[in-house]
């Protein structure tokens, strides 16, 4: 009788283990963000994205450089502390004013810098 029970247990135990494994869920890992640190994407472009060329000039002063690139326009604003490049493009429909679709900020050395700080410095020099 023990021999028969042992044989059944060997067949049932793997089946139970498979059923339990199928029901078990592994929780998806949650991204860990250190408290107090705002991801860069949360504030990039927030101050100039969507502005027209005239709105940029009112806010930041005359650009140091203007470059026409096809339908687009690159305006560059400089201070002693940073350089901001704003890239303006017309709407997809082709009608309407060109607006800032992308911008980059860097130090005069060429190293990337925080855009919000750069924009604040450019506004302060006005």
Q: Is 126 helix (H, G, I), strand (E, B) or coil?
A: coil
- Within a domain: residue 118? yes
- Within a domain: residue 23? no
Q: Over 70: is that where the pLDDT of 13 sits?
A: no
Parent domain of 77 = 46-124
Domain count, the chain: 1
Dig out the tokens for 98 from the structure: 């060109």
**What pLDDT score does 47 carry?**
81
- Within a domain: residue 8? no
Task: Report the C-alpha gap between 126 and 123 in whole angstroms.
Answer: 6
- Within a domain: residue 20? no
Q: Helix axis angle, 115-124 relative to 53-60, nearest 10°?
A: 70
Q: Over 90: is that where the pLDDT of 6 sits?
A: no
pLDDT band at 77 (very low <50, low <70, confident <90, very high): very high
Q: Is the dihedral of CA 82, 109, 99, 72 positive or negative?
A: positive
- Residue 49: φ, ψ to 5°: -60, 125
- Within a domain: residue 38? no
- Within a domain: residue 18? no
- Within a domain: residue 55? yes
**What pLDDT score does 125 carry?**
81
Give the domain CATH number at 91. 3.30.1450
pTM for the whole thing?
0.62
Q: Which residues contact 110 (CB under 8 A, 6 or more apart)?
A: none
């Amino acid at each position: 009788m023990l021999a028969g029970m042992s044989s059944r247990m060997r067949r049932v135990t793997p089946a139970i283990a498979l059923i339990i494994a199928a029901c078990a869920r592994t929780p998806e890992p949650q991204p860990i963000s250190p408290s107090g640190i705002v991801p860069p994407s949360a504030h990039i472009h927030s101050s100039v994205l969507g502005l027209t060329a005239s709105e940029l000039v009112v806010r930041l002063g005359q650009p140091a450089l203007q470059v026409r690139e096809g339908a687009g326009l690159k305006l560059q604003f400089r201070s002693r502390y940073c350089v901001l490049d704003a890239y303006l493009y017309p709407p997809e429909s082709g009608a309407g004013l060109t607006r800032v679709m992308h911008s980059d900020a860097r130090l005069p050395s060429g190293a990337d810098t925080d855009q919000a700080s750069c924009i604040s410095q450019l506004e302060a020099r006005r």
